[in-house]
Structures are given as structure tokens and as C-alpha cells.
Amino acid sequence: MTKSELVSSVRQLILRQNPTQDSLKIAHPAVIEAEIAKAYSTLLKTFYANEINLMNADLDFYAKKFTETIKKDIDGVSYVDLPAKTVELRNNAGLRYVKPKGGEFSFIRVRENELDTIKKLDVYCCTKNVYYYIDGNRIVIDKTTKEHEIMEQVYIKLLPIFSEFLDDDNIEFPQGEVPAMQMILQTMGYRQTDNINDDVR
Amino acid sequence: MSGKNNFVTLDHVVAKVLLEIGDEENRRYYVRAAQWSLDFFRRINMSYSPFYLERKVTVNQDLYYFDTPNDSVKILSVGIYRNGEFWPFTKKPDLSILPVDVEDGIYESDTMDGVSIPDKGHTFGFNGANIGYWKEDTENCRVFVRNYRYSSTVNGYEDYTSAITDKVIVRYKTTGLDCSGDICIPVEADELIAQYVYYKFMRKNIPVQVTADEKDRQERIVNSLQEDYETLKYEPHNFWEVRDMLFGSLNSTARR
């Protein structure tokens, strides 16, 4: 389901359940979008807080790919701007990968503090890996050899938050759309009702 | 399989471990898997592997020493190549270590000069036909080398080390972890390392809890692989290897 279809679907649900003047205000697309965004990130975080779900996750399914140019700050630290805000999952799993555009180096995702420890281990000097971590709204790239300097651009794949999706982007929820709809309506103060037997009454 | 001939790369082993623990997509445990693989690789190099490394070293022109290689566990031999054959020097624990100043570590030429460095032509160190000597200075991670030759003009032995400073070869037991190049893991150790690291993940219940039974089973797999690895290294496996082991040194034996 595309983003715009999702928003209009939720809007229809609300209007159908509570067709009043107030509903039109509450069911404003901007309000709905904000509520879906909350539900989307809550669902992802809850589902992937479980270690087994995270291990078996096909997170690339929800991800978007970007191309970014590597920059250097005044301290000589290499970085790329984060192209979109990510859903914050455990171990920065929201950032799926960073890969060189036209290179063979392995990029390893770490945390900032973790990198300080890694630098003292054999694995840091004995492998030719590039390490990266999220620092605010940028991705810091730790180049370990001179060969890494030739890289100019990188591919970044990440799980963007809901507002970063475009209207025609496909949105997938981890457990399907039904639980997502329920959660969205619940957070907005609606209880989904079953209207099948309305005629009987 | 990435690697050359009968060697595989570290990344190949790590990829196998990640596949075993089911982390091939997220690669969250890459660093842990790589470090544990390196640790175990170092251990099997130090304790089980019969291989040694041979490397040419550059001897310091003034004090006649070279630094112990970074990846060395134990120096086995120091020598030079002569007519296509390795000529080992004699290990001489009594060879003098040059006195250096405690503060700046620079050679003190004023003190003990005559005692520690024999004058040229001095007969110090003569021992049968062998005229090369070496001594390990473990405290400073270096190895001293001396070479003497008989000079008929002085009718004695003179220090000839300056002539071999760019020819010295060192043979040593290596950790296998030389960070200046790629880590090459012998193919026969590949599976052993991967299964051992997988077992280590299991023992720590990373990424998921496993039963004691599964851990036991994995331990038996690792033990069996380790036994195979050691047997492969030290025992002949077929008739041809037995024959080579028994008669290989005799020139009369027909060679394959």
C-alpha cells in the first residue's frame, strides 16, 4: 500500500465510524499522517525489540536506498549526511548498510563507544574494514587505510521514519496492515467496530 | 571461496561463522566473530601448527641488531643463504648486549666499549666451523647478530658483520597475525576456526539461548576437527606419505 493510499484509508475508516463535523477536523490528512508515523515506528520498535525477530528480520524490505558524497569536517573526520531520519532500532539496525560506490571494501556498522574498544583489538589493524556509526544527523566513517581515501561516494540503505516516505512509496508493516490500522485508530481514540450486523439491529 | 591456493581469507571464515549464527544479513556480530577467529588462529599457530615463517631482515649498521618481527612467538633460527642453502648461525646466549643509556636508550660508547664489543680481529666467538652468532635481547625485542671470518693477513678472526647486514634471514614461529598484509588462514584450519568460534557464540548464548545438549554436541564437533587438524599435520595419511617419511631423505629412493 502506498503512503497516500494508507492515509486515505485511515481517513475513510474514521469518517465511516464517526461521521460528524469534529471527525473532519480530527481526520485531517496531516493529523492522520502524524498518527500513522507514531504507529509505524512503534510497531517496528516493538517487533524488533525481540532478539529472535531481529535476527530473522528481513529489514531491507522496509528500507530505502540513497547515494551520498563523503565529506570531511575541519577536524579531518570523514562523514556523510544522513539522507533521512531512521527508525531507531537496537544496535542501530535501522541503518541497514553503507557501501562504497564502486569499491570492494567492507563497511562495518558499530557504535561510537564500541569503536574505541575495537581500535585496541587485532581486528581493527589486521582487517581492511571501514567502520561507521551514526553521530546525530551524520554517519561518521572511520577509514583505516590509505586505500580507503579513494572513495568518493557511498550507498546508504536505511529504514526511514514514516514522514520521510514519499506519497507513492510503498509502506509495509512488520505484521501486516490490520494490526497497524488497529493501533493507529487506538492511538487516535477510536475503537474499530464491527458493522456487519448493523442491518439486523 | 576467497583466497589463494590452499589459503582462505579471514573474511571467508567470518562469513561462515555469521552464517552459522544466522547473522549474515545484519552483520551485528562481525567484529566479535572476527576477533575470536583471530584469537583462535593465533592459538593454533602458537600451539599446534608445525609451520614457521622465514623472513629477510635488515640489520642495524651500527649496533648489528634487528627488531624482533611483530608477529613472532619464538625465534627459531637466524642465518644466511649460502649457495642456495640456509646456513644457521649459532645461538650464543653469552653474546654481549650493547650497553645503552637508561634515559635515552642511545648506545653509550664511553662505557664498557672494549668489553662488550670485541676489537676487529679479536678471536672472540670462535666455535668450530660456525662463524655466525646470534642472541635475543628479549627485554628490548631485538636480536643481535655477529659474523666473524678468518683473515690470513691478521692471522685471526675479524668481525665481518657489516658485510651481511642485508642478507640475514630469520626463522620464527609466528602468531599468523601480521597486520601489514592480508591474514592467510590455511584451508585445513578453516573449518576448525569457524566451528570453534560458533561454539564460543553458543557458550555465551549469543545471539540466542541454546541448550546444554547443543553446546555439548558442538564441543564434540570442535574436538573432532581439532584432532583431525593435528593428525593431518603430524601423521602420514597414505602409503605415499609413509614412504616419503621413511625413505624420503635417501637419494636412492625413487621420487615422485
pLDDT for residue B70: 87
Q: Say whether A122 and B28 touch across the interface (CB within 8 A).
A: no
pLDDT tops 90 at residue A18: no
Q: Assess whether B152 and B202 both reside in one domain.
A: no
Q: Assess whether B32 and B115 both reside in one domain.
A: no
Q: Is there a domain that residue B68 lies in?
A: yes
Taking CA atoms, A155 is separated from A152, B178, B244, B248, in Å, by: 11, 31, 55, 57
Q: Is B38 on the interface with A (CB under 8 A)?
A: yes
Q: A114: which chain B residues are within 8 Å (Cβ-Cβ)?
A: 31
CB B37 within 8 A of CB B14: yes
CB B117 within 8 A of CB B148: no
Least confident of A19-33, A35-49, B18-32, B56-70: A19-33
Give the closest-approach CA distance of B23 to chain A in angstroms.
Answer: 6
Q: Is there a domain that residue B190 lies in?
A: yes
Q: Assess whether B63 and B46 both reside in one domain.
A: no
Indicate the residue type of B22: G
pLDDT tops 90 at residue B14: yes
Q: Say whether A51 and B26 touch across the interface (CB within 8 A).
A: no
Q: Assess whether B156 and B183 both reside in one domain.
A: no
Average pLDDT over residues B146-166: 78
Q: Which residue of B has its CA nearest to A118?
A: B31
Q: B30: which chain A residues are within 8 Å (Cβ-Cβ)?
A: 108
Chain B interface, best mutation among A48, A50, A53, A55, by max B CB count within 10 A: A55
Q: Assess whether B133 and B193 both reside in one domain.
A: no
Q: Assess whether B147 and B185 both reside in one domain.
A: no
Give the burial string for A187-196 (b: 16+ CB within 10 Å, else e): ebebeeeeee
The band of B256, judged by pLDDT with boundaries at 50, 70 and 90, is very low
Higher pLDDT among residues B99 and A72, named by residue: A72
Q: Is there a domain that residue B251 lies in?
A: no
Q: Say whether B22 and A56 touch across the interface (CB within 8 A).
A: yes
Indicate the residue type of A64: K
Residue A164 is classified by DSSP as G
Q: Is B17 on the interface with A (CB under 8 A)?
A: no
Average pLDDT over residues B220-244: 82
Q: Can you tell me whether residue B161 is helix, strand or coil?
A: helix
Q: B182: which chain A residues are within 8 Å (Cβ-Cβ)?
A: 128
Contacts with A37 (C-beta within 8 Å, 6 or more apart), sequence order:
A161, A162, A163
Taking the C-alpha atoms of residue B135 and residue A84, their distance in angstroms, rounded to an integer, is: 62
Q: Assess whether B141 and B226 both reside in one domain.
A: no
Q: Assess whether B64 and B110 both reside in one domain.
A: yes
Give the burial string for B104-125 (b: 16+ CB within 10 Å, else e): eeeeeeeeeeeeebbeeebeeb
Q: Assess whether B77 and B120 both reside in one domain.
A: yes
Least confident of A71-80, A95-104, A175-184, B242-251: B242-251
Q: Which residue of A has its CA nearest to B183?
A: A126
Average pLDDT over residues B244-250: 62
Of A55, A91, A127, the CB nearest to B34: A127
Q: Say whether A60 and B27 touch across the interface (CB within 8 A).
A: no
Give the closest-approach CA distance of B33 to chain A in angstroms.
Answer: 10
Give the ipTM: 0.75
Q: Where in the sequence is the domain holding B15, given as residue range(s)?
A: 7-50+178-236
pLDDT digits (tens, 9 = 90+) for B193-204: 999 999 999 999
Of B10, B11, B208, the CB nearest to A51: B208
Taking the C-alpha atoms of residue A51 and residue B212, their distance in angstroms, rounded to an integer, is: 20
pLDDT for residue A108: 92
Average pLDDT over residues B42-65: 87
Number of domains composing chain B: 2
Q: Is there a domain that residue B150 lies in?
A: yes
Q: Is there a domain that residue B2 lies in?
A: no
Chain A and chain B share a number of CB contacts under 8 A equal to 53
Q: Is B28 on the interface with A (CB under 8 A)?
A: yes
Q: Is there a domain that residue B15 lies in?
A: yes
Q: Assess whether B19 and B40 both reside in one domain.
A: yes
Contacts with A152 (C-beta within 8 Å, 6 or more apart), sequence order:
A69, A70, A101
pLDDT digits (tens, 9 = 90+) for A81-101: 999 988 888 777 888 889 998
Of A58, A109, A125, the CB nearest to B179: A125
Work out the percent of chain B whose per-residue pLDDT is above 70: 79
Helix residue ranges per DSSP H, A83-158: 112-118, 122-126
Q: Assess whether B76 and B93 both reside in one domain.
A: yes
pLDDT for residue B147: 85
Give the closest-approach CA distance of A125 to chain B in angstroms.
Answer: 6
Taking the C-alpha atoms of residue B20 and residue B191, their distance in angstroms, rounded to an integer, is: 12
Give the closest-approach CA distance of B102 to chain A in angstroms.
Answer: 29
Q: Is there a domain that residue B222 lies in?
A: yes
Q: A54: which chain B residues are within 8 Å (Cβ-Cβ)?
A: 26
Average pLDDT, chain B: 80
Of A58, A122, A128, the CB nearest to B177: A122
Give the closest-approach CA distance of A193 to chain B in angstroms.
Answer: 40
Q: A52: which chain B residues are within 8 Å (Cβ-Cβ)?
A: 208
Of B26, B35, B182, the CB nearest to A122: B35
pLDDT digits (tens, 9 = 90+) for B110-135: 544 444 444 444 444 444 445 788 99
Q: Assess whether B202 and B231 both reside in one domain.
A: yes
Give the closest-approach CA distance of A11 to chain B in angstroms.
Answer: 36
Taking the C-alpha atoms of residue B5 and residue B186, their distance in angstroms, rounded to an integer, is: 9
Please say which residue of B113, B138, B165 terminates a domain.
Answer: B165
Average pLDDT over residues A30-44: 83
pTM for the model: 0.76
Give the closest-approach CA distance of B77 to chain A in angstroms.
Answer: 26
Q: Is there a domain that residue B104 lies in?
A: yes
CA A3 to chain centre: 14
